[in-house]
Amino acid sequence: MTEATQASPTARTPALPNKLPQVGTTIFTVMSALAAEHDAVNLGQGFPDFACDPALLDTVTEAMRAGHNQYPPMPGIRPLRAAVAAKIEALHGRQYDADTEITITAGATQAIITAILACVHPGDEVIVLDPCYDSYVPNIVLAGGRAVRVPLTPGSFRPDFARIGAAITARTRALIINSPHNPSATIWSAAEMRQLQALLAPTDILLISDEVYEHMVFDGAEHQSAARFAGLAARAFIVSSFGKTFHVTGWKVGTMAAPAALTAEFRKVHQFNVFTVNTPMQHGLASYLKDPAPYLRLPAFYQAKRDLFRQGLADTRLKLLPSAGSYFQCVDISSVSALNESDFCQWLTREVGVAAIPLSAFYGDGFDQRVVRLCFAKKDETLRAALERLRKL
């Protein structure tokens, strides 16, 4: 028996105080496991089941073979930062300095927590709009802050500026917005962005604008980036995602655009939580971005999938809610079942063979409005298979 296998009265694992006592296994993990167990069509998790452009794979392969396999600069390689700055200027008319105002991140989630850690101090408050992406509140807690949840208007999911204004206190450090919105698939209008600008103008509140679905806006609408509004851009950390845009979510490469003073603080944290982002992907993306067509075609690409999916859902007893942006479709289950959202999603997975996500999972208080979220970032045959099963409801 070796020393390592001998029992010892002093060998024990110390108790670890829980920094996130409210956090357990995410609903996405639970539903995906249930989907796999019952061979269900998984429309729960928000990622594509189809391949990216082979040309993008070629650019990354070429970068590897060219020797771009060691550490890149901490904020990202300059050609990629310059390409991101050029894209923002072309789409939204705002100039960002590639050297001091653009940072390449290890996905959008890392960008968000880094922004929060950079600006939130113990005791600060951060306003989040429910329902919201599930990383926001744990990030705020890890920074020592307090999340102040303000609900979007139930049903329409529009911002309620009276309630947002009432939530602002002397401790409010930041506000997080997300458009196109996960999970509701709504988009903020230009008028709403101007209203937000007016609300924040007399304050020192920072804005974290989660815009990862920026290229998935439908029916001729335009994405209203915070970069388009001078009063917002001056105080905003603007987050985007190459993974979402180019169907490579597993690459975990995102971007952060912010004024130089905010970027300087952001990079202080960035360099010590990831330091930098994988090199060949950065070079490959920089090369791929020379042609804007792939992201300019994305609204039409996803709108076709949305329309196919909505047309099929119209033949079911599920009630369609609007889907103006992102790759999600929400449906009202009231006419199908008396179950609550969570129980319905589990029943739907087990008995019908389609996995969905309850909207209540995105609310701090578990607010249940009989609405679930489906993802249409799937092959057409995947969507048709799901629709065939959903017609049996």
* pLDDT over threshold 90, residue 22: no
Average pLDDT over every residue of 97-103: 98
Q: DSSP 3-state helix, strand, coil percentages of the chain (rounded to 5)? A: 40, 15, 45
pLDDT number for residue 326 = 98
Average pLDDT over every residue of 108-134: 97
* pLDDT over threshold 60, residue 4: no
Q: Phi and psi for 152 in degrees, rounded to 5?
A: -70, 160
* pLDDT over threshold 90, residue 1: no
Q: Which two tokens stand for residue 82?
A: 């310059």
Q: What is the pLDDT of residues 30-43, one digit of tens each?
A: 888 999 999 999 99
* pLDDT over threshold 90, residue 83: yes
3-state DSSP call for residue 255?
Answer: strand
pLDDT band at 3, cuts 50/70/90? low
pLDDT number for residue 29 = 86
Domain ranges across the chain: 27-47+297-390, 66-291
Average pLDDT of the chain? 96
Please give the class, per CATH, of domain 27-47+297-390: alpha beta
Q: Which residues, 6 or more positions from 199, have their beta carbon under 8 angstroms from its beta carbon?
A: 161, 164, 165
Strand-strand pairing, 236-241 and 41-42: unpaired
Determine if residue 101 is left, alpha or beta; phi over 0 gives left, psi from -120 to 50 gives alpha, anything else beta: alpha
Q: Considering Cα of 210, then 364, then 154, then 338, what sign does the dihedral take?
A: positive
pLDDT band at 26, cuts 50/70/90? confident
pLDDT band at 324, cuts 50/70/90? very high
Residue 262 Cα distances to 186, 222, 248, 269, 272, angstroms: 28, 27, 28, 11, 16
Average pLDDT over every residue of 189-206: 98
CA-CA distance, 313 to 319, in Å (whole number)? 8
CA-CA distance, 243 to 324, in Å (whole number)? 20
Q: Answer whether 219's CB lies under 8 Å from 249's CB.
A: no
* Lowest mean per-residue pLDDT among 25-39, 120-134, 325-339: 25-39
Q: Answer whether 135's CB lies under 8 Å from 117's CB.
A: no
The percent of residues above 90 in pLDDT, for the chain, comes to 93
pLDDT number for residue 5 = 59
pLDDT band at 8, cuts 50/70/90? low
Q: What is the pLDDT of residues 215-267, one digit of tens each?
A: 999 999 999 999 999 999 999 999 999 999 999 999 999 999 999 999 999 99
Q: Phi and psi for 304 in degrees, rounded to 5?
A: -60, -40
pLDDT number for residue 6 = 62
pLDDT number for residue 45 = 86
Q: Answer whether 118's CB lies under 8 Å from 320's CB.
A: no
Q: What is the pLDDT of residues 360-378, one digit of tens each?
A: 999 999 999 999 999 999 9
Tell me whether domains 27-47+297-390 and 66-291 share a fold: no
pLDDT number for residue 27 = 83
* pLDDT over threshold 70, residue 289: yes
DSSP-derived secondary structure for 3-61: TTTS--TT--PPP---S-TT--S-HHHHHHHHHHHTT-EE-SS-S-SS---HHHHHHHH
Long-range CB contact pairs, 217-221, < 8 A, 24+? 217/180, 217/187, 217/299, 217/324, 217/325, 218/299, 218/302, 218/303, 218/306, 218/323, 218/324, 218/325, 219/303, 219/324, 221/187, 221/324, 221/325
Q: Answer whether 203's CB lies under 8 Å from 164's CB.
A: no
**Architecture category of domain 66-291 in CATH:** 3-Layer(aba) Sandwich (3.40)
**Residue 318 pairs with which residues in a beta bridge?**
none
Count how many residues are written for the chain.
393
